[in-house]
Amino acid sequence: MGEVLFFVAGIGAVAGAIGVVAVRNPFYSVLALVSHLLCLAALFLLLRAEFVAAAQVVVYAGAVMVLYVFVVAYVGGRDEPLGPRAGSGLRAVSAIFGAALFLELCVATLGSGLQLIDSDGTPAPASFGSPEEIGSLLLTKFLLPFEVASFLLLIAAVGAVVLARRRGGLTAVEEQARYSAMDILRPAYTGTMAEGVGGRHTLPEATVTNTPQEAEDAS
Amino acid sequence: MTSLKLFAWLTLLFPLAGCITIALLGRMLPGRGAGYVGTGALALSFGSAVGALLALLDQDEHHRQVVAVAWDYANSAGVDAQLSLLVDPLSVFMILVVSGVSTLIHLYSISYLDSDRGYVRFFAYLNYFVFSMLLLVLAGNFLILIIGWAFVGAASYLLISYWYRRTTATRAGTKAFVINVLGDVGLVLGTFFIFTHVGTVDFLATFEKAPEVFESGDGDLTAGCILLLVGAFAKSAQIPLHTWLPDAMEGPTPVSALIHAATMVTAGVYLIARMHPLFELAPTAAGVGAVIGCLTLLVAGTIAIAVTDLKRVIAYSTMSQIGYMIMAVSAGAYAAGLFHLMTHAFFKALLFMAAGSVIAAMAGQQDLDRMGGFKRAMPFTFGCMVIGGLALAGVPPFSGFFSKDEILLLIGDRGGWYWGLYVAGYLGAFLTGIYTFRMIFRAFYGEPVPEARELEQGHMHHPEVHKNPADGEVEDTDVGFPGPEHHIAEREPSMKVAMGVLALLAVVGGFLQIPKVTHVIDHFLEPTFEDSALYHRELSDGLLGFGLLLGAAVGIAGIVVAYLIWIRNPQIAVRVRERLAPLHRLFVNKWYFDELIDLLVVRPALWFGAWAQQTFERVFVNGLLVGGTTGVVRAGSSAVRAAQTGFLRYYALLIVVGMVVLALYFLLNT
Amino acid sequence: MAIGWFLAVSALIFTIGAAGVLTRRSPLVILLCLELMLNAANLALIAFARMHANHDGQIFAVIVMVVAACEVTVGLGVIVAMHRRRLPIDVDEMQELRG
C-alpha cells in the first residue's frame, strides 16, 4: 500500500515539476507547482512528517501560491517567446550539466554507503512527526532559529511593502531608499555602476526606460 | 718635526681658506678686493712653503721624509685610508714652485681681468685650483693623490670654460675634462694593480714593500705602471691624450699660464718622479714613458712651427717641453727633469703673461697673421718675451739652457737605445728655437699693425662690436663673456711686477744646477731618491762638454733660422709652405689627431647611441618588453572579458557548473 | 519504501528545478523553479529525518519553508516594481552588467 501511494505521489510530483518548467504560460506553471506541492505533501506523510505536510499545504500551497497567483494576474505574464536570446547553446549546456548534477546527487546519496538507505528507516515511536513533538522542539532546542525566522518574516514583509509602493506619477525622479550626508556632499550618481560605465553624467529628465514597443517606435 | 708639519698644513690650507672667503664674501669686497684676497692667500701659502723648506733643511739628511696624518678615514677592506701628507724634499720642491709661480700669476690677474664681470668667480676658482694642486703634490697616499688629481681636473674644466657663454670655451672645457677622466681611470686602475700586491696605499710603505713583492719586470707591476702612465699622459698632454691642451687656450691667459704651463700639466712629471721606485722595477713602463715623451717632443715641435694662433704656439711648446720632462724622469734623470720643471714654470709663465699683454693690445685677437710691429708700442712686454724666448730656446746663460742640457746629458749617459732619444732631444731643441722666435719676430717685428699704431699714439684699440676671435660670433661683455676692457703690462704695475720677477728668475734660475758645478737641486732632492739606482751617476766630462756646446749651438741656430725666414726674407716662408704643402698641412692640422680620435672614438660612440635609441630602445625595450607585456595583459583581459555577458542565466549556469565540478571532486576523493 | 527512493525523487526534482532556472526567461517562472529546488531540498531533509528518527530535519524543513516564503515575497515585490517602471519582464533584457 505504501509503495503504491509512493509511486502515485512521486510521479505526480515529478509531473508537476516538469510542468512548471516546460509550460509556456506562467499561470499554468503556477498551477503545476500547486499540484506538485500537494503531491509533495503526500510524500511527507509517507515519511511520518505530519505536521510538515500540513504546514506545506496550508502555508506553501495555500498562502505562497496565492500570492503568486495575485502577482501573475497583476503583472500579466504573457506567453514567453521561444528560444533563449543568449543562444541555443545555453539550452544544450544546461541540459548536460543538469543531467550531470542529477547523476552526481544520486551517486552522492545512494552510493554513499549509508546503511539505512535501503531500509525504511530507524523504527520511530508513534508520536514521531506529530505537532506536539515539533512544537516542543521549536520552543526548547530550536528556540533561536524560531525567533530569527519570525524576525526574517517581519523584514520580508516590510521589504515587500517598500519595494512595491507607488510614488507619485510615472515621471518621478528615481527615488533613493535612504538619504545620507554623502548625497549632499557628492554629485548625483557618483559611485554608481552607471557612472562606472560612462552612462550618466547629469540627472536624467525621466528615469523610465522604454518598453520594447516604445523602443521600436523611437528607432 | 712639528713645525714642518704645521707649515705643510698651512701651505695647503691658505688657498682653501682664500677660495672659501672669496666665494662667500667676494661680492662685498670693493673693486679688485677679491684679487687682493686671493693673492694674499697665496702669498701666505708661499711663505708657509718657504717655512717648510727651512724646517726641512733644519733636519738632518736621514729624517727628511715626514708623514703628517690628520685623521683616519676608514680601515675597511684592508685599505688604510688616512688624510696624510708626505712632506719630503720632492713635495717641498713642488709646493715652492707651485705656490711661488701661482702668487705671481695671481698678481698678474688682479689687473688683467679687472673689467670682467666674473672677477670674483675667477679668483675663487684659481685659489681652489692651487689648493688642489698642492693637495696633489703633498699627498701621502694614493687616495689623496687621486683626490687631488680629480680636483685639479675639475678646476681645469671650470677655468677653461670660464667665459662660459662662449660655445668654443665650453666645448674645450668638456674635451679637457673627458680626456682627464680617461687619465683618472688609468690612475685608479694602476693604483689598484699595485695595491693588490702591496696591500697598502701609503706611499712610503708601498715603496718599502715594492722590492720585496715585485721582481724586476713583473707583469702586474708593468701593467700598473703603464696605467699610471696613462694618467700622467692625460694630465700632462702627451700623445695620444694631448688633444685637449691646445683647445684649453680658450681660457683666460692667466689660466693658461698657471694651469697649462707651470702646474697642472707637470702633475704627470711629478707622478712619475714620485713613483720612481715602482718605475725602476718595471723598466718596460719606464721605456714607454721615455719614448712617448720623445715622440711628443718632436710632434709638438713640428706643429708649433705651423700654427698661427699665438697662444697655441706656446701651448704646443709646453707640450714639447713636458715631453722633455717626461722623458727625463722616465729615464732616471729625476733631478734634471724636476729642475727643468722649475725653469720651465718660470719662462713659460712669463711667455704666457707677455702673450696676454699682446692679446690685450689686440683687443682679444690671438691670430699671429694679424699681429706685427709691437716692438715700439710695448717695449716692456717685448723685453719679457725675448727673455722668455731665449730661456725656452736654451741659449746660455738663461735657465732653460742648463736644465735642458742636463736632461739630455743624463739620457745620453744611459746609453743603448737612449741615444736615439738624445738625438731627438737636440732636434727638438732646434725646432724650439725656430718656433719661439718665429712667434716673437712675427708679433713684434715688421710693419706695425693698426692696433700697434694706436698704442704708439697712446690709446688702446677698442673694438666697436665684441666678437669671439675664434669663430667671429658676436658677444656682449656680460658675465660669461670677456670683459669690455683690456689691460697691458705697460700700464698696470701689478702685471709689470709679476712679469719682472719671472724674467729675473728665468735669467738666474739656471745657476742652481749648473752641471758638475753647482748641485743645489741634486743635493736637496737626494733624500727622496736615495733608493734609486739611477740617481747617482758619474757623468763623463767629454760628453758634458760636447752636450753643452751642441745645446747652445742648436738653440742659436734655431734663432738664426727664424731670423732669416721671418725678418730677412719673408718670402722663404711662403715658398717653403708651397713646396712642402702636404707636410705643412699635416702640421697645421695637428697631425690629424683630432680627426683620428673623432673617427675611432666619437663616431662609434654616436653611432652606438643612435643604434641604441632606434633599435634597442624602440624595438626591443618599448616594443617587446613594454609592448609585449601590456599586449599579453590586454589580450588576457579581453579573453576574460568575454565571460561577462550580462545574462543572468549565464551566470546561474556558471554556478551550477561550479557546483557540479566541486561535487565531482569530492565524490572522487572519498 | 526505502529511504533511497525518496532521495532519488528529491534529486530528480532538484535537477528539474535547476534546469528550469537556467532555461526560462521570465523571472516569475525562474522564481517558481527556485521553489522547486527548495522543495526538493525539503524532501531530502524529511527523508533523512525519518532515517535517523530524529526531528531535527523536520524542524529544518519548516524553517526552510519560512525562508522560502520570505524570499518569494521579496522576489515578487521586485517583479512588481519592475512592472511599475515599465521594464520588460525578461531576464535577458537586463544586461547592464555586461563588461
3-state secondary structure chain A: CHHHHHHHHHHHHHHHHHHHHHCCCHHHHHHHHHHHHHHHHHHHHHCCCHHHHHHHHHHHHHHHHHHHHHHHHHHCCCCCCCCCCCCCHHHHHHHHHHHHHHHHHHHHHHCCCCHHHHCCCCCCCCCCCCHHHHHHHHHCCCHHHHHHHHHHHHHHHHHHHHHHCCCCCCCCCCCCCCCCHHHHHCCCCCCCHHHHCCCCCCCCCCCCCCCHHHHHHHC
What was the pLDDT predicted at B218?
A: 79
Q: Which parts of chain B register pLDDT below 70?
A: 1, 60-64, 72-78
- A20-37: pLDDT as tens digits: 998 888 899 999 999 999
What was the pLDDT predicted at A207?
A: 45
Give the list of residues 6+ apart from residue B248 with CB closer than 8 angstroms, or none.
B156, B160, B172, B173, B176, B256, B259, B260, B315
What was the pLDDT predicted at A178?
A: 60
CA distance A187 to chain B (A): 27
Interface predicted TM-score (ipTM): 0.92
pLDDT > 70? residue A171: no
Q: Looking at the complex, does the CB of residue A107 fall below 8 Å from at least one CB of chain B?
A: yes
Q: Which of A:61-80 have CB within 8 Å of C? A: 63-64, 67-68, 71-72, 74-77, 80
Confidence band for A215, pLDDT divided at 50, 70 and 90: very low
Q: Does the beta-carbon distance from A164 to C84 stay under 8 Å?
A: yes
What was the pLDDT predicted at B126?
A: 94
Percent of chain A with pLDDT over 70: 70
Asked whether B220 and B197 are in contact (CB, 8 A), the reply is: yes
The mean per-residue pLDDT over the stretch A175-179 comes to 57
- Which residues lie across from B74 on neighbouring strands? B81
What was the pLDDT predicted at A76?
A: 72
Taking CA–CA distances from A105, the nearest residue in chain B reads B663
Contact list in C for residue B646 (CB cut-off 8 A) is 94-99
Indicate the range of A85-89, A201-205, B292-296, B562-566 predicted with least confidence: A201-205
What was the pLDDT predicted at A219?
A: 43
Q: How many residues does chain A have?
A: 219
Contact list in A for residue C7 (CB cut-off 8 A) is 106, 109-110, 117
Q: Looking at the complex, does the CB of residue A90 fall below 8 Å from at least one CB of chain B?
A: yes
What was the pLDDT predicted at A172?
A: 47
Contact list in B for residue A93 (CB cut-off 8 A) is 653
CA distance C3 to chain A (A): 5
Contact list in B for residue C16 (CB cut-off 8 A) is none
The mean per-residue pLDDT over the stretch A73-97 comes to 72
Q: Does the beta-carbon distance from C22 to A207 stay under 8 Å?
A: no
pLDDT > 90? residue A66: yes
Helix (H, G, I), strand (E, B) or coil at B79: coil
What was the pLDDT predicted at A143?
A: 93
What was the pLDDT predicted at B364?
A: 81
Q: Looking at the complex, does the CB of residue C16 fall below 8 Å from at least one CB of chain A?
A: yes
Contact list in C for residue A46 (CB cut-off 8 A) is 1, 6
Q: Which of B:621-660 have CB within 8 Å of A? A: 645, 647, 649-650, 653, 656-657, 659-660
Q: Does the beta-carbon distance from B653 to A108 stay under 8 Å?
A: no
> Average per-residue pLDDT in chain A?
79
The torsion defined by the Cα of B301, B307, B310 and B315, in degrees rounded to 10, comes to -40
> How many Å apart are CA B411 and CA B526, to the nearest integer?
19
pLDDT > 60? residue A210: no
Taking CA–CA distances from C83, the nearest residue in chain A reads A75
What was the pLDDT predicted at B18?
A: 93
* pLDDT of chain C, 99 residues: tens digit per residue: 788 889 999 999 999 999 999 888 888 999 999 999 999 999 999 999 998 888 999 999 999 999 999 999 999 998 888 888 888 888 877 777 776
Asked whether B34 and B26 are in contact (CB, 8 A), the reply is: yes
Confidence band for A196, pLDDT divided at 50, 70 and 90: low
Asked whether C24 and B653 are in contact (CB, 8 A), the reply is: no
Contact list in A for residue B659 (CB cut-off 8 A) is 101
pLDDT > 50? residue A128: yes
First to last CA, chain A: 65
How many contacts does A have with C, using Cβ atoms within 8 A?
262
